[in-house]
Amino acid sequence: MRDVTNNDYARYKMDDLQKRLNTKQITLKNWVEEIPSIPVPAFLFKNKGSNNFEDVSKSWNSGKPTFSNGAAYSDLDNDGYLDVVVNNINDVPFIMKNNGKQQLGNNFLSVSFEYEKGKIDIGTIGRLTLSNGVTITES
């Protein structure tokens, strides 16, 4: 497996390899084998507020060095905290579970609506009014 996005490789080796390939000194396979391929660790940052972030990659275990090229977040275990799924090239994806519930002990509210036969439920709205009068609406 090769990291074909290595810009250092492209900048310094491309011309030489192209000439060697054109003069049949090397094959395309030889060329690909000369491309440097070094997996790198992912980085995770904790928002400290006021545009300050802390590198917590090691303490939060960002996974082994790999070639990651995409991520998505979702609450995979319905605990109210977003988990992260990271795609890795030529490797299994990382699923990073958010342990905020165990560490912070926060609570969350889950609301589900019951369908009433014969009624249209598209666009159903839930409203929560806090003790200070603030209303939160979701649809």
Could you read off the pLDDT of 74-123 as tens digits, one per residue?
999 988 889 999 999 989 999 999 888 777 766 767 777 788 888 877 77
Distance, CA of 111 to CA of 126 (rounded, Å): 8
Over residues 126-137, the mean pLDDT reads 82
> Residue 55: its pLDDT value, please?
95
Report whether pLDDT(4) > 60: no
Could you read off the pLDDT of 45-64 as tens digits, one per residue?
999 999 999 999 988 888 89
Query: Per DSSP, what are the bridge partners of residue 49?
Result: 52
Contact 9, 17 (CB under 8 A): no
Could you read off the pLDDT of 29-38 as tens digits, one per residue?
988 887 777 8
Distance, CA of 37 to CA of 5 (rounded, Å): 9
Distance, CA of 13 to CA of 118 (rounded, Å): 69
- How many C-beta neighbours within 10 Å does residue 96 have? 20
In the chain, the amino acid numbered 77 is D
> Residue 83: its pLDDT value, please?
93
List helix spans (H) across the chain: 7-22, 28-33, 100-104
* pTM of full prediction above 0.75: no
